[in-house]
Amino acid sequence: MAKTEKVNREKIILAFLDACFTKNAGGTSLSDVAEKLGIKKASLYNHYESRDAMIEDCLRWCGDYYRKTYFIPTDIDSISQRYPAENVMKAIVNRWFKMNEKEPLIQIYSFIESEKYISTAAAKIAQETREKLVTQTKQALRSLAKAGKIIDLEENDLNSMAQIMTSITISNLDDYIVSKKIEIRSNPETGADSLFKSTIEPDYSRIDALVNTFCSVLK
pLDDT tens track for 78-117: 999 999 999 999 999 999 998 988 889 999 999 999 999 9
Q: Dump pLDDT digits (tens) for 193-212.
A: 445 455 556 668 889 999 99
Whether the link from the prior residue into 188 is cis, omega within 30° of 0, is no
